[in-house]
């Protein structure tokens, strides 16, 4: 199998209408925006795409729609995670038949299967297709069985199509262990940053990233990615700090200690002229005061002035 290197992967949000149905007209605009603004690949629907609030039918339709909309201009990576092994396997097979270029999945969460069970869960998903398979760390901290180096290495031994690990944990020890030991077993094994904090993974020899903030500030994200790709980590420092400022502003936009990036990122997108509707319940949308505070914060970020407005 030829090595599939996804590069800078944009992870689109899922837009909803007022009745909470998926807005496919807006989704077409979102996809075209990402294609025009530096996406080497698209991964969907990831957590920023509210995958957990989508029905199985909606997830399948989103993947089918994206593949048809993209028309081969860039690879589409289908997110197929589910707590049930048979459901995730079915999603993986559907993604392959729909024309996805690769699949990605994380271990089950909100319950705590033993590591051997997690291993078997992921092996069955990867074995169900011939597509490149990426395993990502769980998106919810401390609410499930962690992806460990041991699991990753056993996956390499059992899955010829395992392409790499997408890590959002920022656990330096895990990243160092998985890439150094993984490449001893498979020289083309990849480590990708699972969020917009790319420096650590890149410094360890990782290549590529899954980027939620590319929807808000694609130029900033691309600048960071290119600096990391060229090992220009001194130049990347200020860019990474700006991304950190944007990330925390979006995540902490809610009142009373609520930290919900889903509501924040859709508010930020509306501020940038790209209305994508409200998040689905149980996520609470930002109130008027919260939206105003976030808009004020974003206005003070000088680096956003270079970013595209509107579609």
> Are the CB atoms for 148 and 115 separated by under 8 Å?
yes
> Are the CB atoms for 308 and 218 separated by under 8 Å?
yes
Q: Is the pLDDT assigned to residue 255 strictly greater than 70?
A: no
- pLDDT for res 141: 59
pLDDT band at 110; cut points 50, 70, 90: confident
**34-59: per-residue pLDDT in tens?**
999 999 999 999 999 999 999 999 99
**268-298: per-residue pLDDT in tens?**
999 999 999 999 999 999 999 999 999 999 9
**Number of other CB atoms surrounding residue 84 within 10 Å:** 10
In total, the chain counts a number of residues equal to 311
pLDDT band at 257; cut points 50, 70, 90: very low
Q: Is the pLDDT assigned to residue 231 strictly greater than 60?
A: yes
Place of tokens 């690879």: 75
CATH number of 8-231: 3.20.20.70
Report, as an integer, the average pLDDT of 199-220: 97
pTM of the predicted structure, to 2 decimals? 0.95
Give percent above pLDDT 90 in the chain.
89
Angle of the 172-185 helix axis to the 149-158 helix axis, nearest 10: 20
Q: Are strands 190-193 and 8-10 parallel, antiparallel or unpaired?
A: unpaired
Look up residue 238 and give its DSSP letter: H
Q: Which of 93, 95, 89 is nearest to 108 (CA)?
A: 89
Q: Is the pLDDT assigned to residue 260 strictly greater than 60?
A: no
- 3-state SS assignment for residue 287: coil
Residue ranges of the domains in the chain? 8-231
């Amino acid at each position: 199998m030829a090595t599939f290197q996804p590069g800078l992967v944009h992870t689109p949000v899922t837009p909803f209408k007022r009745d909470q149905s998926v807005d496919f007209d807006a989704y077409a605009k979102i996809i075209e925006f990402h294609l025009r603004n530096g996406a080497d690949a698209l991964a969907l629907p990831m957590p920023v795409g509210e995958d957990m609030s989508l029905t199985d039918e909606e997830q399948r339709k989103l993947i089918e729609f994206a593949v048809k909309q993209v028309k081969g201009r860039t690879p589409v990576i289908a997110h197929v995670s589910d707590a049930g092994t048979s459901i995730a396997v079915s999603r993986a097979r559907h993604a392959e038949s729909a024309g996805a270029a690769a699949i990605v999945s994380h271990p089950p969460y909100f319950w705590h299967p033993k590591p051997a069970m997690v291993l078997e869960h992921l092996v069955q998903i990867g074995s169900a297709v011939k597509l490149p398979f990426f395993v990502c760390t769980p998106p919810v901290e401390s609410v499930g069985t962690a992806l460990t180096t041991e699991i990753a290495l056993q996956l390499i031994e059992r899955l010829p199509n395992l392409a790499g690990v997408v890590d959002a944990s920022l656990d330096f020890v895990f990243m160092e262990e998985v890439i150094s030991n993984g490449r001893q077993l498979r020289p083309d094994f990849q480590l990708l940053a699972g969020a917009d904090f790319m420096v650590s993974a890149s410094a360890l020899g990782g290549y590529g990233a899954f980027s939620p903030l590319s929807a808000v500030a694609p130029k900033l994200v691309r600048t960071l990615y290119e600096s990391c790709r060229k090992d220009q980590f001194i130049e990347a420092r200020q860019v990474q700090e700006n991304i950190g400022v944007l990330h925390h502003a979006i995540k902490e936009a809610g009142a009373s200690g609520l930290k919900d990036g889903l509501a924040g990122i859709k508010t930020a997108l509306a501020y940038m002229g790209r209305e994508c509707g409200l998040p689905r319940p149980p996520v609470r949308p930002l109130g008027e005061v919260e939206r105003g505070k976030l808009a004020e914060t974003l206005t003070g970020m000088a680096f956003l002035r270079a970013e595209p407005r509107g579609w």
